[in-house]
Chain A
């Protein structure tokens, strides 16, 4: 399983890296798709005014990335805890079964 998963993860990393080696025109290379959609809305309906704005906006790019990191970090931490716990349990079980058969 470990080998198979390593190949899958490697494939995911390669897929995510390919665009970095491509060249693109325009000033907003690797901008967010959400922002591009916003621009497209303004092109289709130049008169459209958003009628509600975010109640709180992260005061800087740094704070925004802090919160995104926090989101990813909390998720990864919990996921890692879960997998580690179950792996340890499975190992313990196998060891106990191994002892019993002697």
Chain B
């Protein structure tokens, strides 16, 4: 049985950063990465970018490490293998090839699997999720042959895929379960801005719609919606979010909710087991609640923090998340947590009809999140307001006034 001081499950940016951090600060402790993909680290962010899909940049741009760079750094890379059981008492992980690995410190940086859509005909050729490099290769090949595409789902990936397919010259139908695009992350005025821009470019958006069946032989020839609408297409992209189950980890006694539950130091409820990246549902010290975050930089920085803490440093993870999406000429920014439920209040900033609009989410008298459609200048001041946990009761009206200078409120 192989014994590792540091065992990392997951070869994405979180796991890779962790391995490299451990290797640098503890040159003698053995480190291994177990990755269910056989490839070295690549940029999953490229997987939704038109420049990449339309081959305006070389395919090899996607690689962020060389296959040999792991061995050069002294990291054992066990690619194409999945972990299937954990025994936290014996401190042992079993892989799908039957091999057993012993660890002193374990990091679970598994990422989040895409949510699967279960409808008849979904396994035909020409239908792809957007997750792996194999998906990317298939989509690039399909784009060259197809005349029409259907994109299912209205989140980040769905939006950027519609843009990419449109730029590639395909007829695009967007099928979304929600009543407006990107519900409930955006509010309705924001979602309608996207819909208008997309419709102006010829995208047909089927709101409040679900696919009943995918038609065709070996290859997809079309989809039929539950209301009977038939759409002909030669490719389908599935962008219906992520869903983590983690049954093998629950069986080991690990606390799993939507993700792997961790404290502000990214430690789980099991001794000597940490988590990082998309799969971590961690105590966020800025938001003061337990959250998941699916951004690249979050995964990278959590990988580093988790590695530090596996070496006993006791670091707290503190990073305000933000990201942007681009498509159809729009710049859409997100910061913090825009989830709106109990105890949250949404302030609209601007008029959706103007095409420039932001939604600011409050919890009591503090900002916890915001989304911005074509208001990129709001991002930096809103970040400062959220990060500083400032009491905004004195200037609520300013938040709703699109002409008010937010930067002035933060004293910068």
| Bound pair (A, B) | no
Give chain A's interface residues, CB within 8 Å of chain B.
Answer: none
Interface residues of B (CB under 8 A from A): none
